[in-house]
Amino acid sequence: MSINRNLLNIIIILCICLNLGCNEGAQERETDSHTVQVSSLLPSSSSSCVLSPRASTTKSSLHVTHRHGTCSRLNNGKATSPDHVEILRLDQARVNSIHSKLSKKLATDHVSESKSTDLPAKDGSTLGSGNYIVTVGLGTPKNDLSLIFDTGSDLTWTQCQPCVRTCYDQKEPIFNPSKSTSYYNVSCSSAACGSLSSATGNAGSCSASNCIYGIQYGDQSFSVGFLAKEKFTLTNSDVFDGVYFGCGENNQGLFTGVAGLLGLGRDKLSFPSQTATAYNKIFSYCLPSSASYTGHLTFGSAGISRSVKFTPISTITDGTSFYGLNIVAITVGGQKLPIPSTVFSTPGALIDSGTVITRLPPKAYAALRSSFKAKMSKYPTTSGVSILDTCFDLSGFKTVTIPKVAFSFSGGAVVELGSKGIFYVFKISQVCLAFAGNSDDSNAAIFGNVQQQTLEVVYDGAGAEKSDSGKVLDSYTIQVSSLFPSSSSCVPSSKASNTKSSLRVVHMHGACSHLSSDARVDHDEIIRRDQARVESIYSKLSKNSANEVSEAKSTELPAKSGITLGSGNYIVTIGIGTPKHDLSLVFDTGSDLTWTQCEPCLGSCYSQKEPKFNPSSSSTYQNVSCSSPMCEDAESCSASNCVYSIGYGDKSFTQGFLAKEKFTLTNSDVLEDVYFGCGENNQGLFDGVAGLLGLGPGKLSLPAQTTTTYNNIFSYCLPSFTSNSTGHLTFGSAGISESVKFTPISSFPSAFNYGIDIIGISVGDKELAITPNSFSTEGAIIDSGTVFTRLPTKVYAELRSVFKEKMSSYKSTSGYGLFDTCYDFTGLDTVTYPTIAFSFAGGTVVELDGSGISLPIKISQVCLAFAGNDDLPAIFGNVQQTTLDVVYDVAGGRVGFAPNGC
């Protein structure tokens, strides 16, 4: 991706503008670190509003606030704000939109004195969104409206009456152009209408000779309406006639009560371009870090500090709207990171007021994270959240010393971030490094608004493929009490709830299961059953020696852990037959044929919680004949009907008729003629479920049978056993994270399982000393039904040795069953585990969640959740898969992993 420099300049003031622009109190730049009060990391509880002095005293200024802030006209103290997860989700949607726009190629040090207008800004990271708003007057007489200001957008627009189709809820009265004497529509033949393509990405259309605009954003929000001209009033002294804007009569999205958007991009329809004769395409802002202060947005050069240092604006691929930057270096605690120059120069970088978290190329982020963690090593780490994977627990600390982070730009400008620009705070026990890696080396870096907080950022528009996962966290510090479930209530998976083609997956004995009244199985029985499954897998094995998921229709179901709930199996509920009969089925990547118990039970049936399926009551049931190709692997026939028989490792079995039936996953996803087993003779420890959903690689598995619908893609996330929430099982590619990293599916050691190539394991900061053939000789598989990961004897011995060394400060205790490395945490409030990460073929590194490391029998007996397997194939079990998004792209021949999948 090429970067074309020009004479445009972007100006970033190096001094932190706490007094200059944001009115929050200054800091010195004398050391390589910030020492701050831990309590100051959280937002102030004050409900008062402190106005920006610059915005209040500059004649051409308006105040900028956050839409949910204390100082906002939209805040009545009752409205709910999006939580941090929603903020980060919306932020990722914006980043995805920016990177999408950048996917195609396009081909002085003084600010000119000019008239100026200033507006003030307020922080949104802790208030519900990363967006900042200004209030401007529109029309004659003027109608004061709150608009998001956005350097990544060009066209200014607001909702207008009448709402021909639909409008989202807006706090202020919606603008009515029929009541303004200065409003008029723009014709289709105007040059401005012809400019819509570059400003919005969509060419203008016509309605009765009037120009129609349409614009869509990364989170699928949109606005459609008339391109018009109107009077804009910034202050009493700064009034502009004939400003082009969008009068939207069909608008939807998460705009949370604001009236619309103020476009500050580089296109000729942006507000800075339209007011160039007054302000010379110059504007600046300061975004405060405190919820109770305003910052400012200033048009023109008034009040700009003489200490400003400039760096050239660059033009990024297909990104005429964006303000490009040339990042040349990053330092952490005074030490320059070892980042090759091409890491930034190849994909480019931009600065954006609407992106919350700064995104860096994978190698740059890995270097930043590694250095930052090393300098923060005395603070306990904690689990990541969403895109933020480097977090700390600062509970009990009064102060924290943070290494300073500084960015160097072309032209010699160096920007040192304020302490509030380094962390994103969820709570004192979860304070995260406010940076994230891009999913691809080719994606541009984005300098986000958290990092811009308290800086004066001045825009002088007239002046001028291999992903590296980086070093993983060295440890987790967790509350000992959190090792066990804390609630019996059920929290449904948001992913499963919000995807139209989804069903919930729960554990058969979990709080979310209607089977949960059954007696729970103890740990001994869990381990016994798990070992039986492993032996069954090994018995079967002894008889057999680009990164994009294809688009397909999707269906999703949710999952809950069973380690402490009675079993390692997870279940989904689906409908079978016509009318549909809802049944709970264990889902299993190690089995192909789906089956359920059926009436009549000619042999015997085990006890089942739900009524058994009766095929005679279904109008869509039909047996499969012995001559069917699908029957070729069956063992026998009965009156020309195909009979199947399956035995499992714990001596459980099912026998019955191979049949075809309608399967209802959701109301929108109904599958006709699915082959399944209608079992009339079934025995085993199935704990009340109706049967099994086969997700294996064979032709009779549900993914294989539905390949035309879901493209043989499915994914799941199994929640931690300490969680009272569900996870999900998803068919198709909908909702799959862009952070998924893939490793090839191997047919070794068996074509009947999903093989994977493990090439390394690390514990804490230490790579295990294992030979290349440690796994390659016997192979490895991933399995949803095996509870605990099994490793070759020598590999397990090395893992255990390093883990015990890292845990030497904790009291050891006797083993439990096949687990020989256990600890007594009695009397401890927290415990710090070394992290464990698996490296797979293709460069994919998977760091296990803290819950995927130990099996808590009781507080005085918490065991390492791995076992040796006498040099048989390794099995990557479901405890180690918890909280990961595990994606099976069978058609593409690969398995992928992403963190925080539930």
Count the domains in the chain: 1
pLDDT of res. 733:
85
pLDDT of res. 794:
93
pLDDT of res. 53:
56
**Has residue 893 been placed in a domain?**
yes
Residue 834 has pLDDT above 50, yes or no: yes
Residue 184: Cβ within 10 Å count: 14
Residue 795 has pLDDT above 90, yes or no: yes
Residue 277 has pLDDT above 70, yes or no: yes
What CATH number did the domain enclosing 767 receive?
2.40.70.10
Residue 217 has pLDDT above 70, yes or no: yes
Locate 250 and state its tokens. Answer: 């069909």
Residue 557 has pLDDT above 80, yes or no: no
Residue 672 has pLDDT above 80, yes or no: yes
**Has residue 625 been placed in a domain?**
no
Residue 213 has pLDDT above 90, yes or no: yes
Least confident among 246-260, 314-328, 355-369, 833-847: 314-328
pLDDT class of 633 with cuts at 50, 70, 90: confident
Backbone angles phi, psi at 249, to 5 degrees: -110, 0
Instruction: Please give the Cα distance from 867 to 875 (Å, whole number).
Output: 10
- Alpha helix segments (H runs only) across 353-438: 362-375
**Has residue 172 been placed in a domain?**
no
- How does DSSP classify residue 456? E
Instruction: Please give the Cα distance from 272 to 265 (Å, whole number).
Output: 8
The predicted-structure confidence for 365-375, as pLDDT tens digits, reads as follows 999 999 999 99
Q: What is the mean pLDDT of residues 822-838?
A: 90
Q: What is the mean pLDDT of residues 711-724?
A: 80
**pTM confidence score:** 0.50
Least confident among 219-228, 518-527, 567-576, 829-838: 518-527
Residue among 99, 13, 62 nearest 271 (CA): 62
Q: Is 64 helix (H, G, I), strand (E, B) or coil?
A: strand
pLDDT of res. 737:
79
Strand partners, 678: 596, 657
Q: What is the mean pLDDT of residues 352-360?
A: 87
- Per the structure, the complete domain to which residue 814 belongs is given by 741-898
Locate 697 and state its tokens. Answer: 């690689």
**Has residue 750 been placed in a domain?**
yes
Active site residue 783: yes
Residue 148 has pLDDT above 80, yes or no: yes
**Has residue 226 been placed in a domain?**
no
What's the chain's Rg over C-alpha atoms?
Answer: 30
Is 269 or 420 the better-scoring residue by pLDDT?
A: 269
pLDDT of res. 532:
65
Backbone angles phi, psi at 315, to 5 degrees: -100, 120
pLDDT of res. 456:
83
Top-ranked range on mean pLDDT: pick from 120-134, 506-520, 803-817, 871-885:
803-817
The predicted-structure confidence for 280-316, as pLDDT tens digits, reads as follows 898 888 876 665 667 788 888 776 766 677 888 887 7
**Has residue 874 been placed in a domain?**
yes
pLDDT of res. 233:
92
Are 112 and 282 within 8 A, CB to CB? Answer: yes
Instruction: Please give the Cα distance from 471 to 767 (Å, whole number).
Output: 11
Is 776 or 645 the better-scoring residue by pLDDT?
A: 645
**Has residue 489 been placed in a domain?**
no
Single-letter code of the amino acid located at 345: S
**Has residue 843 been placed in a domain?**
yes
Residue 698 has pLDDT above 50, yes or no: yes
pLDDT class of 640 with cuts at 50, 70, 90: confident
Pick the catalytic residue: 123, 352, 530, 783?
783
Top-ranked range on mean pLDDT: pick from 204-218, 547-561, 876-890:
876-890
- Per-chain mean pLDDT for the chain: 78
Locate 281 and state its tokens. Answer: 């395409």
Query: Which residues have CB under 8 Å from 708's CB, separation 6+?
Result: none
Pick the catalytic residue: 588, 687, 849, 889?
588
Q: Is 369 helix (H, G, I), strand (E, B) or coil?
A: helix
